Amino acid sequence: MKLFRRISEASKWFQARRRAGKRIVLVPTMGALHTGHLSLFRKARRLAGRKGVVAASIFVNPAQFGPREDFRSYPRALKRDLALCKKAGIDAVFHPSAGSMYAANHSSWADETRLSRGLCGRSRPGHFRGVCTVVAKLFNIVQPAIAVFGEKDYQQAQVIRRMVRDLNFPVRIIVTPTRREPDGLAMSSRNLYLSPAQRGQAPRIRRALMEARRQVRMRSHPAPVLARKIKSRLAGFRVDYVEVVDARTLESVKRAQRGDRVAVAAFLGKTRLIDNIIL
């Protein structure tokens, strides 16, 4: 397995692979890898084929964290991550430094301005600009034919699809289902922050979403009523938002019905958890 820290070396290596006719599939991550990431790696391998190249990037992207967010404390576990990548059959890991990705006078950004307005974009101003910028940079450096993202970050996946379409990145975006703990909690690097008591509470988000889906499958509900029902099951959380949105436009809907998405962001202590479900 190759490990690249320098952008120029990574670029050169990927370019040579591409010229040799290899299909490159990229999985962007922030590291602290868990089973959710590994499922993306497996999907990437299937898409690349035995002869293709599967690349993972591990980069805690400062540009997508707000000033009062957890950039400094975000879990970092490079040695363990590299062992997991090797075991998963990753061909190349790209792990640049923040300084090499963002020059001191960096002043250019990729910004999606519609799908990123609501949900996490509302509570995390600048977050999706940071995400789009780093993903655009990774696409330019690696130039993958395909990139794989997780449905756990539903809004992120939609925003990236839109950016790729609008800016004509020659990359196919594949989105894979959310991997969960046996009790339903969506796997996340941030779950490491949870105390045992919080960890016990955390699966209630999933249960509230499943219950909402069950109710909507019986009959449609006014969206605010459904959101209230979900919130009422999240006592003990500090709810950031519960929203029922059109799965494609991410605009709020008036009536919640089959096929819509419900997205939740809620804090347990300082830990912000997100999840979503299709109704």
Instruction: Compute the half-sphere exposure of residue 162: CA atoms within 13 Å on the CB side of its CA.
Output: 20
Cα dihedral angle (12, 13, 16, 21), rounded to 10 degrees? -140
List 273's β-bridge partners, or say none.
266
Closest CB to ligand AMP among residues 95, 229? 95
Report if residue 39 touches ligand AMP, rule: CB under 6 A.
Answer: yes
* Set 37, 95, 106, 127: catalytic member: 37
What's the rounded Cα separation, in Å, for the pair 14 and 111?
26
Q: What is the largest CA-CA distance in the chain?
A: 57
Report if residue 44 touches ligand AMP, rule: CB under 6 A.
Answer: no
Report if residue 179 touches ligand AMP, rule: CB under 6 A.
Answer: yes
Closest CB to ligand AMP among residues 21, 182? 182
Report if residue 29 touches ligand AMP, rule: CB under 6 A.
Answer: yes
For residue 210, the minimal CB distance to ligand AMP (Å) is 16
User: In the chain, at which residue ranges do the beta strands (DSSP E only) sit?
Assistant: 2-4, 24-29, 53-58, 92-94, 146-150, 172-176, 221-222, 238-245, 255-256, 261-268, 271-278
Report if residue 37 touches ligand AMP, rule: CB under 6 A.
Answer: yes
Report if residue 188 touches ligand AMP, rule: CB under 6 A.
Answer: yes
Closest CB to ligand AMP among residues 206, 221? 206
Tell me, residue by residue from 138 to 177, as one string, x for binding to ligand AMP by CB under 6 A and - for no binding: -----------xx-xx------------------------
Assess whether 37 carries a catalytic annotation. Answer: yes
Closest CB to ligand AMP among residues 17, 179? 179
DSSP string, 191-251: GGG--HHHHHHTTHHHHHHHHHHHHHHHS-EEHHHHHHHHHHTTTTSEEEEEEEE-TTT--
Mark the segment that binds ligand AMP (CB under 6 A) among 44-52, 97-105, 183-191, 245-253. Answer: 183-191
Footprint on this chain of ligand AMP (rule: CB under 6 A): 29-30, 36-37, 39-40, 149-150, 152-153, 178-179, 186-189
